[in-house]
Amino acid sequence: MTMSATVRLAKQGDAQAITQLINQQLEPRGITAQASREGACLHITLESGRVLPPQQTVVGYLRQALERLSAASIDEVRIYAKLRGDEELGWQENIPLLPASERRALRRRRRSVFRRCFRIWAHWQAIGLGVSFVFLVVLAAVVLALMVIASDLGWDRPQLGAQVTMIAVAALFFWGLILGDAQTEVLLQRLRRATLWKWATAVGLPMGLATGVGLLFYGQAWVLQLVGLLPFSMDVSIFRGVVMPFVSGLSGFFVLGLLQWLSVARRVRHSYRWVVSSAFGGALSASIGALGSRVLSQLLMKHWNLADVPEMGVALMVVICTFLIWFSYQAITGVTIARMLHRRPKVRFRHRKPLLKTRVRKNMA
C-alpha cells in the first residue's frame, strides 16, 4: 500500500492505517503502537521494552498528529502505555478531539489570521522599504560625493565635519518624517489616531542613531567591563564586530521604538511588544549589517580592483551596512506590527456631508 493510500484511509478513520502511520514515527524509538476503533473512540496501545514511553511527550505528539490528520468520525482518543509482555498498564490518558466541523472551522480561522497578518506585514514592508530604498539611494549618492570632496580637501578639516553632521541630522529627520508618514497610512487602516507616529519616527531616527553611534565609538570601555564579567575570554575582532554592533543597535533602536510606542501606547493592546521587538530586532539587524557589510565590501573591492582606494571601501561598507540593517529591521519588526494589528478591524471613516449643502437644505425647509 502506498503512502498516499495509507494517509487517505487514515483520514477516513481506518485503525490499521492510523497504526501504520504512528509506528513509522515511534518504532525507531523502541515503541510500538496498536490502534482499534470503538465507535467514535480510538484506542491506542503503546508498548516499549524496559522503560515506559514518556507520557507527556507521546501524548503531545499523538494529539498534534491526530488533530492534523483530522480523521473522520473520531471524537476521542484513549492512550494506554505498558511494558512489552506485561498485562498491567503503566499509564493511560484520554484526549478529547474537536468534531470534524469545528476542526475545519478552526483551520479556516487560522488561515484567515495568517492571511491578515501576512497582508499587514507585506504592506508594512512595501511602504517602509520602498520609501527607504529611494531615500537611501539618494543618501548613498550624497555620502559618496562628500567622501570625494573630503578626500580632495583633506580629512582633518573640522568645519567639514560639522557640516556633514548637520546634513546627516537633517537627512535623518526628513527620512524619518517621510517614512513615518508612509507607515502612518498603514496604521490608520487599523487605528483611528496614529498621526503622532510620523513625528516620533522623525525625532527618533536621529536620536537613536546618535545614541547607537555614540555608544559604538565612545562606550567600548563600559561595554568591555560588562563583557569582562562573563566567564569566558573574547577575541577583539568578535568584540568589535559582533558585540559592539549588537549593543549599539539595541540602544539606538530602543530609543526609536520607545518614541514610536509612546505615540500609540494607549490605542493598541500589548503595545509594549513594539519596544521589545524594536530593541532586539535592531540589535540583531545591527550585527547582521556589521558582519555582512564587512564581507560584501571586501568581495566587491577585490572584484572591482579598488583595494588601493580605502575611502571607497569605507563608503561602500557604510552603504551596505545601512541597507542590511534597515531591511532586516523592517522584516523583523513587521511581524510584531502584524501581530499587534491583525485583531483590529479596518477603520472605515464616515464621509462628512458638505456644510454648504446642509445649510441650503435647512433654509429651503
The band of 350, judged by pLDDT with boundaries at 50, 70 and 90, is very low
- Residue 90: partners with Cβ closer than 8 Å, 6 or more residues away: 52, 53, 81, 82, 83
Measure the CA–CA gap between 290 and 281, rounded to whole angstroms. Answer: 14
Judged against a pLDDT cut of 90, whether residue 255 lies above it is answered with yes
Give residue 72's pLDDT.
65
Quickly tell me which residue has 569566558 as its cell. 232
The predicted model gives 159-188 an average pLDDT of 79
Judged against a pLDDT cut of 50, whether residue 32 lies above it is answered with yes
Give residue 285's pLDDT.
93
Measure the CA–CA gap between 308 and 319, rounded to whole angstroms. Answer: 19
Judged against a pLDDT cut of 90, whether residue 280 lies above it is answered with yes
Distances in Å between the alpha carbon of 87 and those of 29, 59, 76, 233? 21, 21, 23, 57
Q: What are 67-122's pLDDT values in tens digits?
A: 777 776 788 889 899 888 888 888 888 888 766 667 677 778 878 888 988 999 99
Judged against a pLDDT cut of 90, whether residue 197 lies above it is answered with yes
Residue 305's region, left for phi above 0, alpha for psi from -120 to 50, else beta, is: left
The domains of the chain, with CATH numbers, are: 3-97 (3.30.300), 110-341 (no CATH)
Measure the CA–CA gap between 232 and 77, rounded to whole angstroms. Answer: 50
Give residue 249's pLDDT.
92
Q: Which residue stretches of 29-92 are H helix?
A: 55-69
Whole-model pTM: value is 0.67
Give the number of residues written for the chain: 365
Distance of CA 112 to the CA centre of its chain: 19
Quickly tell me which residue has 500589548 as its cell. 270
What is the pLDDT of the chain when averaged over all its residues?
80
What's at 96, amino acid-wise? Answer: P
Give residue 288's pLDDT.
92
Measure the CA–CA gap between 258 and 41, rounded to whole angstroms. Answer: 53
Measure the CA–CA gap between 330 and 120, rounded to whole angstroms. Answer: 13
